[in-house]
Protein backbone atom coordinates (compact mmCIF):
# COMPACT_ATOMS: atom_id res chain seq x y z
CA UNK A 1 0.00 0.00 0.00
CA UNK A 2 1.42 3.40 -0.95
CA UNK A 3 0.82 6.71 0.79
CA UNK A 4 0.35 10.03 -1.00
CA UNK A 5 3.55 12.06 -0.91
CA UNK A 6 1.98 14.89 1.15
CA UNK A 7 0.71 12.44 3.74
CA UNK A 8 4.10 10.80 3.95
CA UNK A 9 5.63 14.22 4.58
CA UNK A 10 3.11 14.91 7.34
CA UNK A 11 3.79 11.56 8.97
CA UNK A 12 7.51 12.18 8.76
CA UNK A 13 7.11 15.61 10.32
CA UNK A 14 4.95 14.17 13.11
CA UNK A 15 7.50 11.46 13.79
CA UNK A 16 10.26 14.04 13.94
CA UNK A 17 8.24 16.22 16.31
CA UNK A 18 7.41 13.19 18.45
CA UNK A 19 11.10 12.35 18.63
CA UNK A 20 11.91 15.90 19.69
CA UNK A 21 9.13 15.74 22.31
CA UNK A 22 10.55 12.53 23.74
CA UNK A 23 14.03 14.02 23.79
CA UNK A 24 12.84 17.11 25.65
CA UNK A 25 10.85 14.98 28.08
CA UNK A 26 13.90 12.80 28.70
CA UNK A 27 16.05 15.81 29.60
CA UNK A 28 14.56 16.13 33.05
CA UNK A 29 14.92 14.65 36.49
CA UNK A 30 12.76 14.19 39.56
CA UNK A 31 13.89 15.67 42.85
CA UNK A 32 12.40 14.65 46.18
CA UNK A 33 12.86 17.56 48.53
CA UNK A 34 11.39 19.29 51.56
CA UNK A 35 8.54 21.72 51.94
CA UNK A 36 10.99 24.25 53.38
CA UNK A 37 13.05 24.49 50.19
CA UNK A 38 9.88 24.77 48.13
CA UNK A 39 7.82 27.09 50.34
CA UNK A 40 10.74 29.38 51.09
CA UNK A 41 10.90 30.19 47.37
CA UNK A 42 14.44 28.85 46.97
CA UNK A 43 13.69 26.53 44.07
CA UNK A 44 11.85 29.21 42.12
CA UNK A 45 15.14 31.14 42.32
CA UNK A 46 17.60 28.26 41.97
CA UNK A 47 16.19 25.93 39.32
CA UNK A 48 15.96 28.45 36.45
CA UNK A 49 19.70 29.09 36.92
CA UNK A 50 20.35 25.33 36.84
CA UNK A 51 18.32 24.92 33.65
CA UNK A 52 20.15 27.82 32.02
CA UNK A 53 23.48 26.17 32.85
CA UNK A 54 22.56 22.60 31.88
CA UNK A 55 19.35 22.60 29.84
CA UNK A 56 17.78 20.17 32.31
CA UNK A 57 14.33 20.54 33.84
CA UNK A 58 13.72 19.51 37.44
CA UNK A 59 10.37 18.27 38.70
CA UNK A 60 10.28 18.91 42.46
CA UNK A 61 8.13 16.78 44.75
CA UNK A 62 8.06 18.66 48.07
CA UNK A 63 7.42 16.45 51.10
CA UNK A 64 8.63 16.08 54.64
CA UNK A 65 12.20 14.73 54.64
CA UNK A 66 11.09 11.30 55.91
CA UNK A 67 8.54 11.03 53.12
CA UNK A 68 11.08 12.27 50.56
CA UNK A 69 13.53 9.56 51.67
CA UNK A 70 10.78 6.92 51.41
CA UNK A 71 9.94 8.17 47.91
CA UNK A 72 13.59 7.74 46.89
CA UNK A 73 13.73 4.29 48.50
CA UNK A 74 10.90 3.27 46.16
CA UNK A 75 12.87 4.57 43.18
CA UNK A 76 10.44 7.40 42.49
CA UNK A 77 13.12 10.12 42.50
CA UNK A 78 16.53 10.63 40.91
CA UNK A 79 18.03 13.02 43.46
CA UNK A 80 17.34 14.06 47.07
CA UNK A 81 17.69 17.53 48.64
CA UNK A 82 16.68 17.24 52.30
CA UNK A 83 17.57 18.19 55.88
CA UNK A 84 17.82 15.39 58.40
CA UNK A 85 21.48 14.44 58.43
CA UNK A 86 21.14 11.31 60.57
CA UNK A 87 18.35 9.96 58.35
CA UNK A 88 20.30 10.89 55.20
CA UNK A 89 23.40 9.04 56.40
CA UNK A 90 21.27 5.99 57.20
CA UNK A 91 19.77 6.19 53.70
CA UNK A 92 23.27 6.06 52.18
CA UNK A 93 24.46 3.33 54.58
CA UNK A 94 21.52 1.16 53.49
CA UNK A 95 22.65 1.51 49.88
CA UNK A 96 19.83 3.71 48.61
CA UNK A 97 22.01 6.76 47.99
CA UNK A 98 25.46 7.02 46.43
CA UNK A 99 26.96 9.69 48.71
CA UNK A 100 25.67 12.53 50.88
CA UNK A 101 27.12 16.00 50.32
CA UNK A 102 26.68 19.14 52.38
CA UNK A 103 25.15 21.88 50.27
CA UNK A 104 23.81 24.65 52.58
CA UNK A 105 22.42 25.38 56.02
CA UNK A 106 20.21 27.73 57.97
CA UNK A 107 18.63 27.38 61.40
CA UNK A 108 15.42 26.55 63.19
CA UNK A 109 13.57 29.15 65.23
CA UNK A 110 10.81 28.88 67.81
CA UNK A 111 7.88 31.02 66.76
CA UNK A 112 5.12 32.08 69.14
CA UNK A 113 2.75 34.87 70.15
CA UNK A 114 4.51 38.15 70.89
CA UNK A 115 2.98 38.20 74.36
CA UNK A 116 4.78 34.89 75.04
CA UNK A 117 2.50 33.59 77.82
CA UNK A 118 4.91 30.70 78.55
CA UNK A 119 7.88 33.08 78.94
CA UNK A 120 9.84 30.95 76.46
CA UNK A 121 11.83 33.76 74.86
CA UNK A 122 15.61 33.39 74.89
CA UNK A 123 18.44 31.39 73.30
CA UNK A 124 17.81 27.97 74.85
CA UNK A 125 15.40 25.80 72.86
CA UNK A 126 15.40 23.00 75.46
CA UNK A 127 14.53 25.33 78.34
CA UNK A 128 11.84 26.93 76.18
CA UNK A 129 10.13 23.61 75.43
CA UNK A 130 10.28 22.62 79.10
CA UNK A 131 8.36 25.82 79.89
CA UNK A 132 5.82 25.16 77.13
CA UNK A 133 5.08 21.69 78.49
CA UNK A 134 4.05 23.12 81.85
CA UNK A 135 1.86 25.96 80.55
CA UNK A 136 -1.65 25.79 79.03
CA UNK A 137 -0.54 27.10 75.63
CA UNK A 138 -1.04 25.83 72.09
CA UNK A 139 1.79 24.21 70.16
CA UNK A 140 1.52 23.15 66.51
CA UNK A 141 3.78 20.28 65.47
CA UNK A 142 4.40 19.33 61.85
CA UNK A 143 3.87 15.69 62.81
CA UNK A 144 4.90 14.61 59.31
CA UNK A 145 8.30 12.92 59.75
CA UNK A 146 9.96 15.95 58.17
CA UNK A 147 13.42 17.21 59.08
CA UNK A 148 11.76 19.93 61.15
CA UNK A 149 9.56 17.40 62.93
CA UNK A 150 12.60 15.17 63.64
CA UNK A 151 14.45 18.16 65.12
CA UNK A 152 11.44 19.11 67.24
CA UNK A 153 11.23 15.57 68.67
CA UNK A 154 14.94 15.66 69.53
CA UNK A 155 14.46 18.90 71.44
CA UNK A 156 11.45 17.58 73.36
CA UNK A 157 13.51 14.53 74.32
CA UNK A 158 16.35 16.77 75.53
CA UNK A 159 13.79 18.62 77.66
CA UNK A 160 12.71 15.28 79.19
CA UNK A 161 9.12 15.84 78.10
CA UNK A 162 8.97 13.63 75.02
CA UNK A 163 5.75 11.94 76.24
CA UNK A 164 3.90 14.83 77.94
CA UNK A 165 4.23 17.89 75.72
CA UNK A 166 1.35 19.87 77.17
CA UNK A 167 -2.42 19.92 76.80
CA UNK A 168 -2.30 22.30 73.82
CA UNK A 169 0.05 20.16 71.71
CA UNK A 170 -1.39 19.31 68.28
CA UNK A 171 0.10 17.47 65.29
CA UNK A 172 -1.13 18.73 61.94
CA UNK A 173 0.58 16.20 59.63
CA UNK A 174 1.28 19.10 57.28
CA UNK A 175 4.02 21.18 55.67
CA UNK A 176 5.73 24.17 57.20
CA UNK A 177 3.50 26.78 55.58
CA UNK A 178 0.22 25.22 56.76
CA UNK A 179 1.70 24.68 60.24
CA UNK A 180 2.58 28.37 60.44
CA UNK A 181 -0.92 29.29 59.27
CA UNK A 182 -2.40 27.15 62.05
CA UNK A 183 -0.09 28.75 64.61
CA UNK A 184 -1.11 32.21 63.42
CA UNK A 185 -4.81 31.34 63.68
CA UNK A 186 -4.47 29.78 67.15
CA UNK A 187 -1.82 32.10 68.68
CA UNK A 188 0.29 28.95 69.05
CA UNK A 189 3.97 28.16 69.33
CA UNK A 190 5.66 26.29 66.47
CA UNK A 191 9.17 25.24 65.50
CA UNK A 192 10.00 26.46 62.00
CA UNK A 193 12.94 26.74 59.68
CA UNK A 194 13.98 30.37 59.36
CA UNK A 195 13.72 30.41 55.56
CA UNK A 196 10.03 29.53 55.46
CA UNK A 197 9.35 31.98 58.29
CA UNK A 198 11.03 34.81 56.39
CA UNK A 199 8.90 34.04 53.33
CA UNK A 200 5.70 33.66 55.38
CA UNK A 201 3.19 36.50 54.97
CA UNK A 202 0.35 35.57 57.34
CA UNK A 203 2.21 36.24 60.61
CA UNK A 204 -0.68 37.72 62.61
CA UNK A 205 0.73 38.28 66.14
CA UNK A 206 3.59 35.78 65.84
CA UNK A 207 7.30 36.53 66.28
CA UNK A 208 10.61 34.71 66.68
CA UNK A 209 11.04 33.91 70.37
CA UNK A 210 14.00 31.52 70.47
CA UNK A 211 17.02 31.71 68.14
CA UNK A 212 20.77 31.49 68.37
CA UNK A 213 21.01 28.13 70.16
CA UNK A 214 23.73 26.08 68.37
CA UNK A 215 21.40 23.07 68.61
CA UNK A 216 19.08 24.84 66.15
CA UNK A 217 21.65 24.45 63.33
CA UNK A 218 19.89 23.02 60.25
CA UNK A 219 22.12 21.47 57.55
CA UNK A 220 20.85 20.39 54.13
CA UNK A 221 22.29 17.51 52.14
CA UNK A 222 22.06 16.42 48.52
CA UNK A 223 22.55 12.93 47.08
CA UNK A 224 21.98 10.84 43.98
CA UNK A 225 19.66 7.85 44.33
CA UNK A 226 21.59 4.63 43.79
CA UNK A 227 20.88 3.13 40.33
CA UNK A 228 22.03 -0.25 41.62
CA UNK A 229 18.76 -0.32 43.58
CA UNK A 230 16.66 1.21 40.79
CA UNK A 231 18.21 0.95 37.29
CA UNK A 232 15.79 3.50 35.81
CA UNK A 233 17.25 6.32 37.95
CA UNK A 234 18.70 9.08 35.78
CA UNK A 235 22.08 9.01 37.47
CA UNK A 236 23.90 11.24 34.98
CA UNK A 237 21.28 14.01 35.19
CA UNK A 238 21.04 13.70 38.97
CA UNK A 239 24.83 13.94 39.25
CA UNK A 240 24.75 17.07 37.08
CA UNK A 241 22.44 18.69 39.62
CA UNK A 242 24.60 17.63 42.57
CA UNK A 243 27.74 18.92 40.87
CA UNK A 244 26.11 22.20 39.83
CA UNK A 245 24.49 23.03 43.18
CA UNK A 246 27.85 22.45 44.88
CA UNK A 247 29.80 24.42 42.27
CA UNK A 248 30.79 28.06 42.67
CA UNK A 249 27.85 29.07 40.47
CA UNK A 250 25.29 27.01 42.39
CA UNK A 251 26.60 28.09 45.77
CA UNK A 252 26.54 31.73 44.69
CA UNK A 253 22.94 31.31 43.54
CA UNK A 254 21.98 29.98 46.99
CA UNK A 255 23.75 32.88 48.71
CA UNK A 256 22.04 35.40 46.43
CA UNK A 257 18.54 34.33 47.44
CA UNK A 258 17.34 36.92 49.96
CA UNK A 259 14.11 38.39 51.27
CA UNK A 260 14.23 42.03 52.39
CA UNK A 261 18.00 41.81 52.26
CA UNK A 262 18.18 38.76 54.54
CA UNK A 263 19.74 35.54 53.23
CA UNK A 264 17.56 32.48 53.76
CA UNK A 265 20.27 29.86 53.29
CA UNK A 266 24.05 29.81 53.60
CA UNK A 267 26.11 27.69 51.16
CA UNK A 268 28.61 25.29 52.74
CA UNK A 269 29.56 22.76 50.05
CA UNK A 270 33.20 23.84 50.19
CA UNK A 271 33.59 23.56 53.96
Provide the b/e sequence for 46-66 (b: ≥16 CB within 10 Å): bbebbeeeeebebebebbbbb
Residues 165, 251 within the same domain: no
CATH of the domain at 234: 3.40.190.10
Residues 86, 179 within the same domain: no
Which of 216, 233, 255 is the endpoint of a domain?
216
Q: What does the pLDDT look like over 21-71, one tens digit per residue?
A: 444 445 999 999 998 898 899 999 999 999 999 999 999 999 999 999 999
Q: How many other β-carbons are positioned within 10 Å of the β-carbon of residue 1?
A: 2
Q: CA 225: distance to chain centroid? A: 16
Residues 125, 209 within the same domain: yes
CA proximity to 238, closest of 86, 98, 69: 98
Residues 97, 112 within the same domain: no
Which DSSP category does 135 fall into? Answer: S
Mean pLDDT, to the nearest integer, of 154-164? 85
Indicate if the pLDDT at residue 12 is higher than 60.
Answer: no
Which of 193, 216, 239 is the endpoint of a domain?
216
Residues 23, 83 within the same domain: yes
Residues 101, 119 within the same domain: no
- Distance between CA atoms of residues 129 and 162, nearest Å: 10
Q: What does the pLDDT look like over 90-120, one tens digit per residue?
A: 999 999 999 999 999 999 999 999 999 999 9
Residues 125, 87 within the same domain: no
Residues 162, 249 within the same domain: no
Residue 73 three-state SS:
helix
Domain span at residue 171 reads 106-216
Domain count for the chain, please give it: 2
Question: So what's the pLDDT on residue 53?
Answer: 96
Residues 159, 57 within the same domain: no
Confidence at 138, pLDDT banded by 50, 70, 90 = very high
Residues 233, 179 within the same domain: no
Which of 176, 193, 216 is the endpoint of a domain?
216
Q: What does the pLDDT look like over 180-236, one tens digit per residue?
A: 999 999 999 999 999 999 999 999 999 999 999 999 999 999 999 999 999 999 999
Residues 147, 191 within the same domain: yes
Amino acid sequence: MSFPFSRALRLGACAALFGVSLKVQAQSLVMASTTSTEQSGLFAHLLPAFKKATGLDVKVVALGTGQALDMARRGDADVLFVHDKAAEEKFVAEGFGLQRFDVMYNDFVLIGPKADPANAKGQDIVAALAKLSSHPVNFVSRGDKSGTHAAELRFWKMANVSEQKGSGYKECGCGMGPALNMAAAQAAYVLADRATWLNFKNRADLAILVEGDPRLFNPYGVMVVNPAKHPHVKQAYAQQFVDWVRSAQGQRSIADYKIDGQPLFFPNAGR
